[in-house]
Amino acid sequence: MTSAHTHAHPVGRLVDGYDPDGEVELEGYAGSLTTYGLVLAGIAAAGSASGHHLAERYDLADIALGGLAVHKFTRLVSRSSVAAPVRAPFTRFEGAAGSGEHVESAREDDGRLRATIGKLITCPFCLGVWVGTAYIAGLNLAPRPTRAWAALFAVTALSDTLQHAYSRLRGD
């Protein structure tokens, strides 16, 4: 039921009138938020059970490295041509976007879960929260492999930036 409908349940009535045209799939987003909360609880439980606790603070180098890596990884997952087979069950190809990227849209015709996943994996900003969470969890639970992962994608992001700059300088 979209938010355009009137809800019988008191909790559902809280959102009545939010989106009279039914353009926003509140139930799908609520499911995503619930899943995210459960993932956070699972990470916290895993950390507690293994004796790993959240760091009191994070080194600026880890934040910068992670920011570059999360940016590159989310672009790779959400837009790259090479990751299209992973997105295909949840998205529709709309066209090429240059630099080995695609424009895709979420499949809206085959259930809310499929549409919600499609929206998540085609949005680098949305995906960034999930990948950033995994990065911070990794710094706490397994710092060495997490930093190696981050270094790989940060180096790739810097390389891509230099490739674009070089192409512009040459007028390609």
**What confidence score (pLDDT) does residue 8 get?**
67
Parse the chain into domains and list their residue ranges. Answer: 1-53, 58-170
**What confidence score (pLDDT) does residue 2 get?**
46
| Residue of 116, 122, 118, 120 lying closest to 78 (CA atoms) | 122
Lookup result for tokens 């397994």: 142
| Residue of 64, 3, 56 lying closest to 28 (CA atoms) | 3
**What confidence score (pLDDT) does residue 5 get?**
57
**What confidence score (pLDDT) does residue 9 get?**
63
pLDDT along the chain (172 residues), means of 10: 56 75 82 94 92 91 98 98 97 93 90 89 96 97 97 97 94 86
Give the Å distances, CA to CA, from 48 to 41, 42, 45, 57, 116. 10, 10, 5, 18, 31
**What confidence score (pLDDT) does residue 6 get?**
63
Helix, coil or strand: residue 51: coil
Q: How far is residue 154's CA from residue 157's CA, in Å, rounded to a whole number?
A: 5
**Which pTM does this prediction carry?**
0.84
**What confidence score (pLDDT) does residue 43 get?**
93
Radius of gyration in angstroms for the set of CA atoms belonging to the chain, rounded to a whole number: 19
**What confidence score (pLDDT) does residue 25 get?**
79
**What confidence score (pLDDT) does residue 33 get?**
93
**What confidence score (pLDDT) does residue 10 get?**
64
Q: How far is residue 9's CA from residue 53's CA, in Å, rounded to a whole number?
A: 40
